[in-house]
Amino acid sequence: MYILEDKTYFWLLLLVPVLVLLFVGLSYWRYRAQRKYAQAAMLDRLIPDRSWFKPILKLVTVCVAVLFLVMGLVNLKAGDKLETVDREGVDIVFAVDISKSMLAEDIKPNRLEKSQQLVNQIINSLASDRIGLIAYAGSAVPQLPITTDYSSAKMFVQALNTDLVSSQGTAIGEAIQLADSYYAEDSKAAKVLVIISDGENHEGEAMNVAQEAADKGIRIITIGVGTTQGGTIPLKENGIVRSFKKDNDGQTVITKLNKETLVEIAKIGNGIYIDGTITANALDALKKELSGIDKVAFESQQYASFESQFQWFLGLGLLFLILDMVYLEKKTSWLKKLNLFNE
């Protein structure tokens, strides 16, 4: 059983065809240069120790050295030791608001990017909890089902943008209903829903839906991003602000944090409201809230204890490089004396 730690280093194997092309080009240039001064028969007399085999052998040696060195960088890991590990944690689903109001820059760099930073920092602080991701605006759309693959989760978080949902609004209720479908019915793990939003343009009966979710044992934590003073919604092209969003009367829209809605939803969902303005403070508040939730063993997996084998490949690579330096391009004297080819 083996794994390759970093396959990106395999791109370095492109050096092999480059070396071959350089060798062919250099050999052709050398052949042309020698033929300018003497015929082949004369060259055999002028350069009696010239070998056609040694340069090829040196090329093959260097290519093999490159192969081993690349394998060392890739770091092949092998192992056959299996052990059972009990994972304990909670099921956490993040519901991130991606409505146009999240482009407001009253919190730098803007509300949406701040939300992405918050989710990434929360994921970094988790150990064995399972996580899922939902994006919502006028409707809610699934992004990532419950998983322990934190790397994939952060990739999906970074991909969030306001164009994922065409309809505008803040359908918190629909996001809560979608989150309910994420949790496995037979799972004994605690269920937590983290809603990150400015709470503005609230649509639907989120309070009733939040109550239904709470009755099913889902704890709802809300994180508010934005300020009560609010800010404009810039409309950008190629990163440059061209204008600001306006209402039907042509007035510039000022979007403000609707803290009251988020506080009420968290209260109904037996959770807390967290101010997301300062990432570190929001992270501490969430970690404190999660620490009070009982964690149960929800998964048992087999893990292999892998050991790195890179040192063997690096050693062989260095050995072949040393051999290349030892090889001379002329004929080996003791092999020449054997006269194996009756020359």
In this prediction, residue 274 carries a pLDDT of 96
| Cα 142 to the center of its chain, rounded Å | 19
Tell me which of 27-36, 189-198, 312-321 is least confident: 27-36
Higher pLDDT pick, 301 / 194: 194
pTM of this prediction exceeds 0.75: no
Name the band, by pLDDT with cuts 50, 70 and 90, for residue 110. very high
Indicate the length of the chain as a whole number.
343
- pLDDT for res 81: 65
Residue 321 predicted with pLDDT over 70 = yes
Q: What is the CA radius of gyration of the chain?
A: 32
Would you say residue 159 has pLDDT above 70?
yes
Domain extent listing, the chain: 2-75+309-338, 85-300
- Say what the pLDDT of residue 340 is: 47
CA distance 151 to 313: 28
Alpha carbons 288 and 55: distance in angstroms, whole number: 68
The distance from CA 107 to its chain's CA centroid, rounded to whole angstroms, is 25
Cβ-count burial 127-166 (b if 16+ within 10 Å, e if not)? eebbbbbbbbbbbbeebbebeeebeebbebbeebebeebe
| High-pLDDT (> 90) share of the chain, % | 45
Q: Please give the pLDDT value at position 334.
A: 46
pLDDT tens digit sequence for 42-92:
655 655 566 667 788 888 999 999 999 999 998 888 776 666 666 678 899
Where do the DSSP E strands lie in the chain? 2-4, 76-89, 91-97, 130-136, 140-147, 191-197, 218-224, 231-232, 234-237, 240-244, 254-255, 273-275, 296-308
Please state the rounded mean pLDDT for residues 155-159. Answer: 94
Q: Which helix (H) or strand (E) holds 212?
A: helix 206-215
**Cα 199 to Cα 10: distance, rounded to the nearest angstrom:** 47
What is the per-residue pLDDT for 38?
Answer: 61
End-to-end CA distance of the chain: 52
Exposure of 342 by Cβ count < 10 A (0-12 exposed, 13-18 middle, 19+ buried)?
Answer: exposed
The two tokens of residue 303 are: 């893990």
Task: Note the pLDDT of residue 316.
Answer: 92
- Whether residue 34 is predicted with pLDDT greater than 70 in this model: the reply is no
What pLDDT shows up at residue 303? 55
In this prediction, residue 160 carries a pLDDT of 95
Look-up of token digits 């791109």: 11
DSSP 214-277: HHTTEEEEEEE-S-SS-EE-EEEETTEEEEE-B-TTSPBPEE---HHHHHHHHHHTT--EEE-S
What CATH number was assigned to the domain covering residues 85-300? 3.40.50.410
Q: Is the pLDDT of residue 338 over 60?
A: no
Given a contact cutoff of 8 angstroms between Cβ atoms, the answer to whether 146 and 132 are in contact is yes
Give the closest residue to 168 by CA, choosing from 139, 197, 195: 139
Per-residue tokens: 309: 């084998």
**312 in Cβ contact with 60 (< 8 Å):** no
Q: Mean pLDDT in the chain?
A: 84
Greater confidence, 116 or 233? 116
Helix (H) or strand (E) holding 42: helix 40-46
The whole-number average pLDDT for the span 294-305 is 63
Cβ atoms of residues 192 and 91 within 8 Å: yes
The tokens for 322 are 């040393």
Q: pLDDT tens digit string along 162-191?
A: 988 877 777 899 999 999 999 988 778 889
The burial class, CB within 10 Å (0-12 / 13-18 / 19+), for 24 is: exposed
Per-residue pLDDT reduced to its tens digit, 95-104 = 999 999 999 9
- Encode pLDDT of 191-248 as tens digits: 999 999 998 766 558 899 999 999 999 999 999 999 989 999 888 777 777 788 887 7
Per-residue pLDDT at 331 exceeds 80? no
Between 127 and 65, where is the model more confident?
65
